[in-house]
Structure 1
């Protein structure tokens, strides 16, 4: 039974990780189109096994790339077998907020993967924490189709929008002003929604509670937490844009399909 049949809006998860078996089963059971990113070799092996589950290939889009957090303990070569066979590269990028790998090491791995993605004409998913300005500059040397996942910086958004990047809105849109600004300003043909996995959703909810923001996830969340989180993100984003949530949900699904395709729409 799909999410549509159960009476919920159509939800699409533009960025997640392998996560728990329970959340993966929900994605498959409810037909939630989900991009699953593997950021290091063991994670990619787990994703390979998940893709063998019944119904997995109908719901899950695999992506692989050396995550900046892992660039000090694994190599691009280690990830290459997965990057060669998966349709999306990522998530890749640079991070000087939550990562202590030397930025020179991160940059070398990042640019090698950007070059590979460009040469192979594969879209790429970007991780940009505290390196938003520099990554936007680097991208100009590697023209391609990019998804900036969970953009939460209060600056430099225009530098990505000028390069036709897609941007996914994270679960903290209910309280984070920078994410709310992205939800308002990203063009309707390039906005997406994501969970980043249920661990990230839990983090976002706890951070919101610290700020006095009540957990507003629907009561159905205990049995369908992925779908409920995405619905909340879409409804909040729709309110910020003055849109009907169901219409935005359909637009997000269309944008996801286009991001994965060979062409970029102009409207």
Structure 2
């Protein structure tokens, strides 16, 4: 069985009992390692502990997820200072990005949404990543991805991973031309928009993820999201391109190693 990597998971967000169980099952699933992204300072610290408990298996990224309320300036300062102090332990800065879904929900409620603080924070986090020479893990979909591309170019960051990406054809073309990576979740097995993206995006810039513990539909309905699901994602990706699951595993494994190791 070929080794695979879950390129994006919120490991610290699982209940402790579930997390312990899935970590004990990784070897049997052929999952070599996990890129454990963070939500905030507390989340980053938890992922650091998990990485120390599971060396070489849990590979942590530290950051601030944008789909939540912006913290105080003091809290942001503490997060960035801590990230800089522990830069040698993180494989990337992430998860960071822009609050597309929060903004959409506010609009549906007829409320105004001030995105300026999120843009300012993202700019600061990208500057930190550039200074530390770290890749970035991005939450940026549709029109937000164009804004993020501008910021990546501003900070001259070339190693960027847009997780669970969706976007317009011109954005896809722009990202591919810059060599930015994307990753597919289990919804590749049932979402037409994602299947179409899998046809279009360059194969050497693709990875597989679960974004666990986020739940999925289709054949995964009612199941706890498990890193082993990346194998089914990879098999589906291979079928789209007319290659065997084993060939797809070898290719996406190499892509993920190239980006994160």
TM-score tier after normalising by the smaller chain length: 0.7 to 0.9
Assess if the C-alpha contact under 8 Å between 1:17 and 1:38 holds in 2. yes
| TM-score (norm: length of structure 1) | 0.79
Secondary structure of 1:33's counterpart equals strand
**Hey, what's the Cα distance between the residues in 2 that align with 1:225 and 1:67?**
21
1:91 aligns with 2:95: yes
Q: How does 1:1-267 map to 2 (within 5 A)?
A: 4=1, 9-18=2-11, 19-20=13-14, 21=19, 22-27=21-26, 31-53=31-53, 56-70=54-68, 72-73=70-71, 75-80=75-80, 81-83=82-84, 84-85=86-87, 86-99=90-103, 102-130=114-142, 131-144=144-157, 145-155=159-169, 156-197=171-212, 199-200=213-214, 202=215, 204-205=216-217, 208=218, 215=219, 225-227=226-228, 229-261=229-261
Give the C-alpha shift of residue 24 in structure 1. 3.5
Give the C-alpha shift of residue 133 in structure 1. 2.2
CA RMSD of aligned residues (A): 2.4
| TM-score (norm: length of structure 2) | 0.81
Secondary structure of 1:91's counterpart equals strand
Give the C-alpha shift of residue 91 in structure 1. 0.9
**Hey, what's the Cα distance between the residues in 1 that align with 2:139 and 2:44?**
17
Give the C-alpha shift of residue 255 in structure 1. 1.1
**What 5-or-longer segments of structure 2 have no aligned partner?**
107-112
Give the C-alpha shift of residue 77 in structure 1. 2.0
Q: Deviations over 1:110-150 (max 9, x none)?
A: 01111111121100101003412222222221222000101
**Hey, what's the Cα distance between the residues in 1 that align with 2:131 and 2:251?**
29
**What 5-or-longer segments of structure 1 have no aligned partner?**
209-214, 262-267
Give the C-alpha shift of residue 216 in structure 1. 6.4
Assess if the C-alpha contact under 8 Å between 2:3 and 2:31 holds in 1. no
- Report the CA distance shift for 1:94/1:11 in structure 2 as closer, same or farther (over 3 A): same
Count of matched residue pairs: 236
Once the two structures are overlaid, the 10-residue window that deviates more, 140-149 or 16-25, is: 16-25
**Hey, what's the Cα distance between the residues in 2 that align with 1:137 and 1:38?**
23
Secondary structure of 1:125's counterpart equals strand
**Hey, what's the Cα distance between the residues in 2 that align with 1:61 and 1:230?**
16
**Hey, what's the Cα distance between the residues in 1 that align with 2:70 and 2:254?**
37
